[in-house]
Every structure is written in structure tokens, then in C-alpha cells.
């Protein structure tokens, strides 16, 4: 569509005069008239009724209906020009397991949302096994998972190590609890959440796998809601426990002979799309800064 003609048409509508429209646009009246005529030829219809002695312009019925379209077109043109002026837009699609997205990665995500120039971000929460498949299909650009695999086209990098702790309801005057051995704990009062294969192996060593816990959950967030009896307990990664403690309802107790530490991995495709490589570099910079003083793999 003829951009200069739309600009002239809207100026005429605004000022109700060809002469005043020319002044607003810093053009001659003849130029404004030419641009309007060219637009009308393109549209195949008269937009502005012309005639000698008219003090103000009069729009044709077609011209009346065309105003809203012209205004939308001009708004789109402005938005396009802004986008062009800002340069190519950065994008990044990130996947993460529920517990990592909820308890470990929010500081990283907040940093990315505040980056300038802005990065267009998309977040996805899936189980770790699903994230491997999603990344291999290149539906996401990077993923944070709790399990390691060997996949030819996927690069794996440990980025965070989480120790395991016991949590239980806070009771008045409980103070700091002494470390406890798994043999003291009864599965009758366990709220069980399977947060990794290594944890499952450790768990089966102390409690009969054929006699399941009285309560099992598939997401960690349910644990706090269900934990009310002071005899209840659960074994979770410390990053999860630290968040629960903030509620004032939960206390942490160290375990003697605890489960293996949970190793968390960042995975990316070896053939990342060229359009996201800069975004991945920015992500890595924030990760280096945010996890520099935390529990990370060397």
C-alpha cells in the first residue's frame, strides 16, 4: 500500500484541508494532492470529494470507511520501523524440570528478563526425560535437567550440585535439630517424592521398596501443603528445602549417611540455531555470575 498517500490522506482528515495538510507535512499542496490521487488510483475509489468553493474537505463513503484501515496500517508501519531500528531481536526458548524452574533457576530467569536489549523468552516446564527429547527435536534451545544421558547431538554440562536434607514440620521450641540416621525414620510418616534415580537407589536401601510410603507426590510443592503431623518427614534437595523453610512451617534436619548429591545439568544442541547463539552466550554470562559463589561443578 502507498505509504506516502496514506500519510497525506490522514493529514487531510486531521486538518480538514488540503492546504493545512500540506503545511503539517511540510509539502506543497500540489504534492499532497498528487499523493492522494495516487492512493485513490491504487484503491480504485475516490477517498476525498473535490470541488471549487469548498471550505472544508468532504470524505466519500469509501473514504469514511478507509480511515480506520489507514490508521491501523500507519500504526503497523511505525511498529515495523521501531523493530528495524532496534536491530535483530534476540530470542531464547528454555526448558527446565519443575523443581529446577521453581527453586533453583528463578534468579537466572529474572536476570534474563531484565537484559537490555530485551530477549524474547519462552519457558517450558517438563520432566527431565521429556526435555532431552524436546531439545533433540530442537523445539527448545537449552534445557536444565536432573539426569544425564549420552546423546550424540547434545552437549551436557553440570552447573549445580544440590545436597539432600530431611525436612519436617516446625514445632514450638524445636530449635536446631541434631543429625538423624535413616534407620530412625518410619516410612509410615514419609511424604515421598522421587527426585532422581540415585535418590531412589538410596531410598530402597533403607526402606522396603515393596512397602510404599503412606503419601507420595509427583511435584515437590505439594509437600508443604500436606506436612502437618510433627512425625511426618521427607527427603528433598536443599534448594527445595531452603524455599520451604521461608514459610516458617518447615525445618531442616541433616541426615547421617545421606543420599548422593543431586547433580543438575545444562544441555544444549551441538548444532544450535545461529539466531540464538548470542542469546546462549548471554545466558552463560549470567550463569557464571549467579552460580560463581554457589554449589557448582568445577
Q: What number is the average pLDDT over the span 251-259?
A: 94
Kindly report, residue by residue over 66-93, the tens digit of the pLDDT: 999 999 998 888 888 876 766 667 899 9
The CATH label, of 3.40.190, 3.40.50, 1.10.287, 1.20.58, for the domain at 164-253 is 3.40.190
pTM: 0.65
Cα angle 21, 24, 28; round to 5: 65
Domain with CATH 3.40.190.10 in the chain: 90-160+264-290
Q: What number is the average pLDDT over the span 141-162?
A: 92
Kindly report, residue by residue over 84-118, the tens digit of the pLDDT: 766 667 899 999 999 999 999 999 999 999 998 88
Residue with cell 473535490: 50
User: Quick one: CA torsion of 73, 74, 75, 80, rounded to 10 degrees?
Assistant: 90
3-state helix/strand/coil string of 10-22: HHHHHHCCHHHHH
Q: What number is the average pLDDT over the span 146-172?
A: 91
Q: Exposed (0-12), middle (13-18) or buried (19+): which is 233, by Cβ within 10 Å?
A: buried
Written as one string, the DSSP assignment of 176-208 is: SPPPB-GGG--GGGBEEE---HHHHHHHHHHS-
pLDDT grade, residue 192 (50/70/90)? Answer: very high
Q: What number is the average pLDDT over the span 187-216?
A: 88
Q: Has residue 296 got a pLDDT over 60? A: no
Which fold, 90-160+264-290? Answer: D-Maltodextrin-Binding Protein; domain 2 (3.40.190)
- Percentage with pLDDT > 90 across the chain: 65
Domain with CATH 1.10.10.10 in the chain: 3-86
Kindly report, residue by residue over 52-61, the tens digit of the pLDDT: 666 678 899 9
Amino acid at each position: 500500500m502507498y505509504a506516502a498517500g496514506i500519510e497525506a490522506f490522514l493529514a487531510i482528515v486531521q486538518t480538514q484541508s488540503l492546504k493545512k495538510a500540506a503545511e503539517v507535512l511540510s509539502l506543497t499542496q500540489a504534492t499532497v494532492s498528487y499523493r492522494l490521487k495516487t492512493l485513490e488510483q491504487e484503491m480504485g475509489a475516490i477517498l476525498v470529494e473535490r470541488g471549487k468553493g469548498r471550505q472544508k474537505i468532504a470524505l466519500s463513503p469509501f473514504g469514511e470507511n478507509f480511515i480506520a484501515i489507514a490508521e491501523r496500517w500507519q500504526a503497523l508501519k511505525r511498529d515495523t520501523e521501531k523493530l528495524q531500528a532496534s536491530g535483530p531481536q534476540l530470542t531464547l526458548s528454555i526448558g527446565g524440570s519443575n523443581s529446577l524452574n521453581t527453586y533453583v533457576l528463578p534468579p537466572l530467569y529474572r536476570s534474563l528478563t531484565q537484559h537490555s536489549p530485551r530477549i524474547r523468552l519462552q519457558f517450558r516446564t517438563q520432566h527431565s526425560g521429556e526435555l532431552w527429547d524436546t531439545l533433540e527435536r530442537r523445539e527448545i534451545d537449552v534445557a536444565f535437567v536432573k539426569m544425564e544421558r549420552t546423546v550424540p547431538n547434545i552437549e551436557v554440562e553440570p552447573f549445580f550440585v544440590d545436597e539432600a536434607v530431611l525436612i519436617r514440620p516446625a514445632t514450638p521450641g524445636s530449635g536446631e535439630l541434631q543429625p538423624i540416621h535413616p534407620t530412625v525414620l518410619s516410612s509410615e510418616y514419609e511424604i515421598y517424592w522421587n527426585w532422581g534415580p540415585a535418590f531412589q537407589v538410596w531410598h530402597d536401601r533403607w526402606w522396603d521398596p515393596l512397602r510404599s510410603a503412606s503419601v507420595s507426590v509427583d511435584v515437590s510443592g505439594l509437600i508443604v501443603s500436606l506436612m502437618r503431623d510433627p512425625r511426618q518427614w521427607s527427603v528433598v534437595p536443599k534448594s527445595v528445602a531452603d524455599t520451604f523453610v521461608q514459610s516458617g512451617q518447615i525445618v531442616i534436619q541433616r541426615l547421617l549417611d545421606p543420599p548422593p548429591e543431586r547433580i543438575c545439568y545444562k544441555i544444549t544442541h551441538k548444532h544450535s540455531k545461529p539466531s540464538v547463539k548470542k542469546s546462549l552466550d548471554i545466558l552463560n554470562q549470567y550463569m557464571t555470575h549467579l552460580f560463581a559463589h554457589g554449589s557448582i561443578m568445577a
